[in-house]
RNA sequence: GGCGCGGUACCCAAGUGGUAAGGGAGCGGUCUGCAAAACCGCGAUGCGUGGGUUCGACUCCCACCCGCGCCUCCA
């Protein structure tokens, strides 16, 4: 089976054929660290983390580059008033980028192969801008002592091929303030002459700083080559950002920039896009106060990456229950494993291998189809259901339990959903097998006391103990193998 | 105005030219001292509306209604 990817360029699903398999080069537009990371960002980076993980699972070697826009109007605005503006900008970037990385790590997003920063590639950008001027795709306009440099959109034939718009169509509804100096309102800045109190770098056009789009064209080519396999980002970047990236890069090199363009859908609040400007965003930091990051991850992946997701507490609460079901399965298996006896089990590994394989195949089929995580998650739930059902039918041999557990964990791992840590934390005692801390001892003493009461048919007392533990967040389950307990946070 | 996306049960959400995955909630049952969990069963005669193509459409085509996004920074 081959992976199929929906390519924004062709507006179709295409067979994924990287240039030099098994190598895959992938670039995803990163953040501008000037504020806390919100759920919308989370969705984008979880999406591409899954793309990366699944490609790796499919035996590709992924070189994943994600830039950091560390020079930008918003950062500068936030730094205004500082004595050393460049220094202040760097501090802001550090603060929010650290926070970004922290939050991503909680979401179990693997760090990219590299996080290149715009300010560390000014020279490379200057070179490309010069090339564009030399080739007649760009022009400079004097501003005081320095110059702005603009890309002349009309010179690049193919402009609009990603966002499917024609220059004529855009002019009709453009709400942009018209800058009379530019040859066309669509021309965009490659280099901005420094204004008073702005961080700046030397260039052939005097002191200034790069425009937003150029960094991505430059850094992606630098780390991945002039043509690379996958370019990703949020839907909102299609125009103008990605369109402009293509124009700059392809004008400069004459080569195809990126083969596959992938764009994730938005997170909405009451059907409206979650965004900074609307002020309706929820930061991941805040969400994590109430919900486990893995719940958030599951919530995001239960919808196909290209569809919008409407965010609400209720939806997260539902995802929480679903996640609990996954975790509980691992606990149940661990519990049984901890109790395994020497008796002859009725269910052997041969009985279930084929079935497990079926769910595995369904998972792969779904993921191959443009990373259909919703379908893939369904396959995992079906696999769990099958395992529970099997375990209900009789005693299973140890290998059987282990392969069940491994099968589920492996698939969850491809989606970056962690179960084991949570399962272990909750299942602190495992019937006394793992943890012998005083707290656990105390809980188990009470369980033993309850057990004795139950034997004596003193159910009143037994229920009291159960209620008391429940109030402490300890949930008891009486099974044929004894009482199982877990600590739910 | 241009371009794009979507409308599937109580909620969320996959999917497909041949008769609706999965999750959450609910109801009934098995198990249990009672629970919990798990298991079994129930739950859209129908996939925005109206036409059309077809042996057959929710899936293809047309029109319409509704919601959203991009065209300005935005994941």
Q: Name the residues in A244-273 having a C-beta closer than 7 Å to nucleic acid strand B.
A: 264-268, 271-273
CATH numeric code, A4-132+213-264: 3.40.50.620
Q: Is A427 helix (H, G, I), strand (E, B) or coil?
A: coil
Number of other CB atoms surrounding residue A4 within 10 Å: 16
* Separation of alpha carbons A461 and A480, rounded Å: 21
Contacts of A410 (CB under 8 A, 6+ apart): none
- The Å distance, CA of A370 to C1' of B47, is 22
Q: Is the CB of A459 under 7 A from strand B?
A: yes
Point out the nucleotide closest to A11 (alpha carbon to C1′): B4
CB A210 within 8 A of CB A149: no
* Separation of alpha carbons A383 and A405, rounded Å: 10
Number of other CB atoms surrounding residue A470 within 10 Å: 12
Q: Is A19 helix (H, G, I), strand (E, B) or coil?
A: coil
Q: Is the CB of A212 under 7 A from strand B?
A: yes
Q: Is A25 helix (H, G, I), strand (E, B) or coil?
A: strand
- Residue with minimal CA–C1' distance to B23 is A322
What's CA A472's distance to the chain center, in Å? 34
Q: Give nucleotides in strand B with any atom < 7 A to a protein C-beta.
A: 1-6, 11-16, 21-25, 32-40, 67-75
| Architecture of domain A313-416 in this structure | Up-down Bundle (1.20)
Point out the nucleotide closest to A168 (alpha carbon to C1′): B2
Q: Does the model's ipTM exceed the 0.90 cut?
A: yes
Q: Is the CB of A168 under 7 A from strand B?
A: no
- Residue with minimal CA–C1' distance to B21 is A378
- The Å distance, CA of A13 to C1' of B59, is 17
CB A197 within 8 A of CB A228: no
- The Å distance, CA of A143 to C1' of B26, is 69
- The Å distance, CA of A356 to C1' of B56, is 35
Q: Is the CB of A330 under 7 A from strand B?
A: no
pLDDT tens per residue across all 489 residues of chain A: 689 999 999 888 999 999 999 999 999 999 999 999 999 999 999 999 999 999 999 999 999 999 999 999 999 999 988 899 999 999 999 999 999 999 999 999 999 999 999 999 999 999 999 999 999 999 999 998 899 999 999 999 999 999 988 888 776 555 556 677 889 888 999 999 998 889 999 999 999 999 999 999 999 999 999 999 999 999 999 999 999 999 999 999 999 999 999 999 999 988 888 988 788 899 999 999 999 999 999 999 999 999 999 999 999 999 999 999 999 999 999 999 988 666 777 888 888 999 999 999 999 999 999 999 999 999 999 999 999 999 998 889 999 999 999 999 999 999 999 998 888 777 655 444 455 678 888 888 999 999 999 999 999 999 999 999 999 889 999 998 899 998 876
The answer, yes or no, to whether the previous bond of A240 is cis (omega within 30 of 0) is yes
Q: Name the residues in A386-445 having a C-beta closer than 7 Å to nucleic acid strand B.
A: 388-389, 391-392
Q: Is the CB of A377 under 7 A from strand B?
A: yes
pLDDT tens for residues A147-193? 999 999 999 999 999 998 888 877 655 555 667 788 988 899 999 99
CB A207 within 8 A of CB A200: yes
Helix or strand (DSSP H, E) at A209 = strand A208-210
Q: Show the CA angle centred on residue A346, arms to residues A342 and A348, nearest 5°.
A: 90
- The Å distance, CA of A316 to C1' of B9, is 20
* Separation of alpha carbons A218 and A126, rounded Å: 10
Q: Is the CB of A371 under 7 A from strand B?
A: no
Domain boundaries, chain A: 4-132+213-264, 313-416, 430-487
């Amino acid at each position: 089976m081959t992976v199929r990817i929906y390519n924004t360029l062709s507006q179709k699903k295409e067979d994924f054929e990287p240039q030099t398999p098994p190598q895959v080069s992938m670039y995803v537009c990163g953040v501008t660290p000037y504020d806390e990371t919100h759920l919308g960002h989370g969705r984008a980076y979880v999406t591409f983390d899954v793309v990366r993980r699944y490609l790796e699972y499919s035996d590709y070697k992924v070189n994943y580059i994600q830039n950091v826009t560390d020079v930008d109007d918003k950062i500068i605005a936030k730094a205004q008033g500082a004595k050393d503006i460049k220094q202040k900008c760097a501090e802001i970037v550090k603060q929010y980028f650290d926070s970004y990385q922290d939050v991503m790590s909680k979401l179990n997003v693997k760090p990219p192969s590299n996080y290149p920063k715009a300010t560390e590639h000014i020279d490379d950008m200057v070179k490309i801008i010069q090339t564009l001027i030399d080739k007649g795709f760009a022009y400079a306009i004097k501003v005081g002592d320095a110059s702005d440099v603009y890309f002349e959109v009309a010179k690049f034939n193919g402009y609009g091929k990603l966002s499917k718009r024609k220059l004529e169509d855009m002019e009709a509804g453009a709400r942009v303030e018209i800058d009379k100096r530019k040859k066309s309102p669509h021309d965009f800045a490659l280099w901005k002459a420094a204004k008073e109190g702005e961080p700046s770098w030397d260039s052939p056009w005097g002191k200034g700083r790069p425009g937003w789009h150029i960094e991505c064209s430059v850094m992606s080519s630098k780390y991945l080559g002039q043509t690379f396999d996958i370019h990703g980002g949020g839907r909102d970047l299609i125009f103008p950002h990605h369109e402009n990236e293509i124009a700059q890069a392809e004008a400069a090199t004459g080569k195809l920039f990126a083969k596959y363009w992938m764009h994730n859908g938005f997170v909405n609040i009451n059907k409206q896009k979650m965004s900074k400007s609307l002020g309706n965003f929820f930061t991941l930091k805040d969400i994590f106060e109430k919900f486990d990051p893995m719940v958030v991850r599951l919530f995001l992946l239960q919808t196909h990456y290209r569809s919008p997701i409407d965010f609400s507490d209720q939806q997260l609460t539902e995802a929480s229950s679903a996640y609990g079901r996954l975790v509980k399965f691992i606990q149940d298996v661990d519990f049984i494993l901890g109790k395994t006896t020497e008796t002859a089990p009725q269910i052997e590994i041969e009985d279930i291998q084929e079935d497990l394989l079926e769910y595995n195949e369904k998972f792969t089929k779904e993921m191959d189809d443009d990373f259909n995580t919703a379908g893939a998650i369904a396959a995992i739930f079906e696999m769990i259901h099958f395992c529970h059902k099997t375990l209900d039918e009789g005693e299973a041999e140890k290998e059987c339990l282990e392969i069940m557990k491994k099968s589920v964990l492996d698939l969850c791992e491809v989606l970056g959903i962690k179960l084991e840590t949570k399962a272990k934390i909750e299942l602190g005692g495992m019937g006394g097998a793992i943890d012998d801390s005083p707290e656990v001892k105390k809980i188990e003493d009470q369980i033993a006391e309850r057990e004795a009461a139950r034997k004596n048919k003193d159910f009143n007392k037994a229920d009291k103990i159960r209620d008391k533990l429940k109030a402490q967040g300890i949930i008891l389950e009486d099974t044929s193998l004894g009482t199982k307990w877990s600590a739910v946070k």
